[in-house]
């Protein structure tokens, strides 16, 4: 029923817990199934890399613009009350989001999470939807606090 990857994330969830004084919190739930997810993020800044492929010039210079900064998810944790698929989806979402810029993390979709888990059963697909909504809400909460 569940893929090996889904079972791994259920049995050994990554980034489970709570961040004290988080920069953003996202909470979602589904009344029909009873799943509740709360996501905590800590945001930091780092130099923005202009090009995905770092081009090294003959003079040794790189493509990093030292003046421009980007915000990224330095740390992320979750607390989920729900089924195996809900816990696995939360765990996988944190793995996909950690270390990503806020722009990249905002683009994480339910299909990214579902595919990374090796496809949830159709009746459990809503868990990937919830986890994608949770990270988007945490980022929106962070931006609203700024």
Q: For residues 92 and 32, is the Cβ–Cβ distance under 8 A?
A: no
- The single residue of 39, 86, 87, 127 carrying the catalytic annotation is 127
Q: Which listed residue (25, 33, 36, 49) is catalytic?
A: 33
DSSP result, 80-119: EES-HHHHHHHHHHHHHHTT-BHHHHHT--HHHHHHHTT-
The Cα angle at residue 75 between residues 43 and 6, in degrees rounded to 5: 135
Burial tier of 95 (Cβ tally within 10 Å: 0-12, 13-18, 19+): middle
83 assigned to active site: no
* Catalytic annotation, residues: 33, 127
């Amino acid at each position: 029923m569940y893929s090996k990857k889904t079972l791994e994330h259920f049995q050994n969830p990554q980034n489970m817990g709570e961040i004290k004084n988080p920069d953003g919190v996202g909470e979602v739930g589904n009344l029909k199934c009873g799943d509740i997810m709360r996501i905590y993020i800590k945001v930091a800044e780092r130099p923005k890399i202009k090009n995905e492929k770092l081009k090294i010039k003959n003079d040794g210079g790189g493509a990093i613009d030292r003046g421009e900064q980007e915000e990224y998810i330095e740390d992320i944790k979750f607390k989920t009350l729900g089924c195996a698929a809900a816990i696995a989806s939360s765990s996988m979402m944190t793995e996909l989001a950690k270390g990503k810029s806020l722009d990249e993390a905002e683009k994480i979709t339910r299909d990214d999470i579902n595919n990374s888990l090796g496809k949830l059963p159709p009746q459990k697909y809503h868990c990937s939807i919830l986890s994608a909504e949770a990270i988007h809400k945490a980022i929106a909460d962070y931006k609203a606090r700024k």
